């Protein structure tokens, strides 16, 4: 009877430890490949991968809560797609959320796909942490990552040197996609068309904190390109040194959102060297040393077509070859500059204007702001504009 009782207790312990989804599955000690470890994993399991290069094109099982973790770090634990397909494909029924983890890998050399050279995430929202996603290619969308649906979290990652037609670092599609990016770098990605760093499509929501979107290159939207609007919220970050061979060095396309404590430095575009701001709020931002190189009517540095609120910010040492530095358009929404320093901004044409209104009747107010060493005129009205200057000098 005692032996039988002990056996029952052991069976209970076995079920608790191994069947409750808390098993650690070791690669390559127990499983020769990462794919084999994932296929055996249940919800709550950890697939622990020892240092090495794993040439795999992983298809993630539709199981939430699996944790794929490198035993050391991304420098010596590498998933190499070998330019055969995407490195990791995760297609979910919507059940995969941030309880699923991919941590501390280099994810490289994914390719031969039209979406998501590094990772494809469809209706999936895992947490990707401490990864380097580099040297991946897509023939169309998302050199580094392609997202469609889901609410992924990207934290402490480097997304760099990926290539595509659209969205070199990240391409986000479909309404309802929500992305949180924290303490990460999206840099040196190159696309032939739009969105060197990020391409945001169809009203998705992106929140970026403590991150860098730097040194990306595109035809339009060197740093960020938004298509059909969307919600873009950026805090304590840098969008700098991006290049657009056509329009929008830092950002091109309309958004609704905010930029708080953001540095826009050294971006360059043939037109709209910095880019577009829609119904956005900019607070405590620095806009400096950005430039426009073109000479067309649309070669302003900044275009504000939907009304914008800019407060406690600095707009300094920017330049354009156009006849206006900032273009404020209509659409019945006021544009407000409050506590803004405009210093040493330059445009080279003799008829240059600093702030220029265009087309529709608009209202604009400039309050408690400082103008020094800028272009020849402060405001030029092409049609008519209601403007209010308060405590400016």
Confidence (pLDDT) at 331: 58
> What digits encode the pLDDT tens for the residues 345-368?
887 765 556 676 655 555 678 889
Residue 385 lies in a domain: no
Confidence (pLDDT) at 133: 98
Confidence (pLDDT) at 47: 98
Confidence (pLDDT) at 134: 98
Residue 153 lies in a domain: yes
Confidence (pLDDT) at 136: 98
Residue 230 lies in a domain: no
Q: What is the pTM of this model?
A: 0.90
> What digits encode the pLDDT tens for the residues 285-337?
999 999 988 777 667 888 886 678 899 999 999 988 876 778 776 556 778 88
> What digits encode the pLDDT tens for the residues 179-209?
999 999 999 999 999 999 999 987 788 999 9
What's the order of all strands across the beta sheet hosting 268-271?
163-166, 190-194, 217-220, 243-247, 268-271, 291-292, 319-320, 346-347
Structure-token pair, residue 299: 């070669």
Split into its structural domains, the chain has a count of 1
Residue 139 lies in a domain: yes
Structure-token pair, residue 213: 């979107």
Q: By the 8 A CB rule, do 206 and 237 touch?
A: no
Residue 212 lies in a domain: no
| CATH number of 84's domain | 2.160.20.10
Q: Which residues of the chain have pLDDT under 50?
A: 1-20, 384
Confidence (pLDDT) at 127: 98
Residue 127 lies in a domain: yes
Residue 53's domain comprises 21-183
Residue 48 lies in a domain: yes
Residue 362 lies in a domain: no
């Amino acid at each position: 009877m005692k032996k039988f009782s002990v056996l029952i207790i052991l069976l209970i312990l076995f079920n608790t430890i191994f069947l409750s989804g808390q098993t650690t599955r070791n690669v390559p000690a127990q499983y020769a490949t990462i794919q084999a470890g994932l296929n055996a994993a249940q919800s709550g399991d950890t697939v622990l991968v020892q240092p090495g290069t794993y040439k795999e094109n992983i298809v993630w099982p539709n199981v939430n809560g699996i944790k794929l973790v490198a035993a050391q770090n991304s420098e010596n634990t590498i998933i190499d797609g070998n330019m055969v397909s995407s490195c990791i494909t995760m297609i979910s029924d919507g059940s995969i959320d941030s309880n699923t983890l991919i941590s501390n890998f280099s994810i490289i050399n994914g390719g031969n796909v039209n979406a998501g050279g590094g990772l494809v995430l469809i209706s999936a929202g895992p947490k990707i942490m401490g990864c380097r996603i580099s040297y991946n290619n897509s023939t169309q969308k998302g050199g580094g990552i392609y997202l469609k649906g889901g609410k992924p979290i990207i934290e402490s990652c480097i997304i760099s040197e990926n290539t595509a037609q659209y969205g070199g670092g990240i391409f986000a599609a479909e309404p309802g996609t929500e992305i949180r990016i924290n303490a990460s770098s999206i840099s040196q990605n190159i696309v032939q068309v739009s969105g060197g760093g990020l391409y945001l499509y169809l009203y998705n929501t992106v929140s970026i904190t403590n991150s860098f979107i730097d040194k990306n290159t595109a035809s339009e939207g060197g740093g960020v390109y938004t298509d059909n609007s969307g919600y873009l919220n950026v805090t304590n970050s840098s969008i700098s040194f991006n290049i657009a061979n056509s329009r929008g060095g830092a950002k091109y396309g309309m958004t609704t959102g905010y930029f708080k404590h953001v540095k826009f430095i050294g971006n360059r575009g043939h037109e709209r060297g910095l880019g577009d701001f829609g119904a956005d709020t900019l607070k405590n931002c620095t806009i400096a040393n950005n430039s426009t190189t073109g000479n067309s009517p649309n070669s302003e540095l900044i275009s504000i077509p939907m009304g914008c609120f800019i407060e406690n910010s600095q707009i300094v040492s920017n330049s354009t070859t156009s006849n206006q530095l900032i273009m404020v358009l209509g659409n019945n929404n006021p544009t407000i500059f409050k506590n803004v320093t405009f210093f040493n901004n330059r445009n080279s044409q003799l008829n240059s204007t600093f702030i220029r209104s265009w087309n529709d009747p608009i209202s604009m107010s400039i309050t408690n702001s400082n103008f020094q060493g800028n272009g020849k005129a402060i405001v030029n009205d092409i049609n008519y504009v209601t403007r209010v200057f308060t405590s400016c000098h």
